[in-house]
């Protein structure tokens, strides 16, 4: 399966990633989207708990994709904050992705929260059953398709994190009020986390 062939029949599964650095001058967040060789416990397509590991090379060919992969807040496609602009599938840590963050209120907030370590990285990915081998309760994913990147407070993989944040003018991003969003989302935990209240 090439990265340009979207496996439409397969469900999107969510995994934690590693945010490494936030480059404010370029508005870029560099992250380990999917750590290779790191075992974690996830829910499978049937809702059962399973141990999982993603094999190095599972995203080989991603750099040839014609379409863009969005960067979203909390896996919500309606809250897109940017898109992937560069991939390194052969990094020893895992699939490293640079995401360009849009100059919007939510984008500014995302840069600051990622820089402060509040947000971490996560991914939505798909894979065919034929591309995953399960033995002794451990599923090894050999090939996968990246659907989207998400910036979230609690990702699935411990090794998924922001590597760097870059912004064009090195300005400090002020706190951005999201009162209406918080009211719509109705999740007091997220609202308190975003606004520094615990």
Non-local CB neighbours of 189 within 8 Å, separated by 6+ positions: none
Q: Are residues 132 and 141 in contact, defined by beta-carbon separation less than 8 angstroms?
A: yes
State both tokens at 188.
Answer: 């007091």
Say if residue 170's pLDDT is above 50: no
Please state the rounded mean pLDDT for residues 172-193. 42
| Counted domains in the chain | 1
Question: The CATH number of the domain where 125 resides is what?
Answer: 3.20.16
- The answer to the question of residue 8 being in a domain is no
Give the integer Cα–Cα distance in Å for 179 and 187.
12
pTM of this structure:
0.71
- The answer to the question of residue 67 being in a domain is yes
- The answer to the question of residue 6 being in a domain is no
Weakest-pLDDT range from 45-49, 85-89, 176-180? 176-180
Q: Are residues 115 and 22 in contact, defined by beta-carbon separation less than 8 angstroms?
A: yes
- The answer to the question of residue 4 being in a domain is no
- The answer to the question of residue 31 being in a domain is yes
- The answer to the question of residue 90 being in a domain is yes
- The answer to the question of residue 74 being in a domain is yes
Q: Which structural domain, as residue segments, surrounds residue 130?
A: 13-194
| The pLDDT value given to residue 66 | 76
| The pLDDT value given to residue 182 | 40
| The pLDDT value given to residue 18 | 61
Q: Which residues of 112-133 are buried (b: 16+ CB within 10 A; e: fewer)?
A: bbbbeebbbbbbbbbbeeebbe
Give the integer Cα–Cα distance in Å for 176 and 135.
47
Please state the rounded mean pLDDT for residues 69-91. 94
For the chain, the average pLDDT equals: 78
Query: Nearest 5°: CA angle at 96, between 51 and 38?
Result: 20
pLDDT tens sequence across 50-71 = 899 999 999 998 988 878 899 9
* CA-atom Rg of the chain in angstroms: 16
pLDDT tens sequence across 117-160 = 888 888 889 998 899 999 998 999 999 999 999 998 877 666 77
Centroid of chain to Cα 117:
14
- The answer to the question of residue 2 being in a domain is no
Strand order in the sheet with 132-135: 40-43, 49-54, 138-141, 132-135
């Amino acid at each position: 399966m090439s990265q340009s062939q979207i496996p439409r029949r397969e469900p999107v599964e969510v995994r934690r990633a590693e945010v490494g650095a936030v480059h404010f001058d370029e508005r870029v967040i560099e992250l380990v989207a999917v750590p290779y060789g790191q075992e974690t416990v996830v829910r499978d397509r049937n809702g059962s708990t399973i141990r999982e590991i993603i094999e190095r090379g599972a995203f080989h060919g991603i750099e040839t994709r014609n379409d863009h992969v969005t960067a979203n807040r909390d896996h919500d496609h309606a809250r897109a904050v940017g898109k992937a602009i560069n991939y390194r599938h052969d990094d020893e840590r895992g699939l490293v992705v640079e995401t360009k963050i849009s100059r919007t209120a939510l984008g500014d907030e995302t840069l600051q929260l990622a820089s402060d370590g509040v947000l971490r990285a996560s991914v939505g990915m798909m894979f065919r059953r034929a591309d995953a081998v399960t033995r002794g309760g451990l599923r090894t994913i050999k090939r996968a398709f990246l659907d989207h990147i998400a910036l979230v407070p609690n990702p699935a993989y411990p090794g998924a994190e922001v590597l760097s944040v870059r912004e064009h003018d090195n300005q400090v991003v002020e706190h951005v009020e999201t009162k209406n969003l918080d009211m719509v989302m109705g999740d007091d935990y997220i609202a308190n986390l975003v606004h520094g209240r615990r």
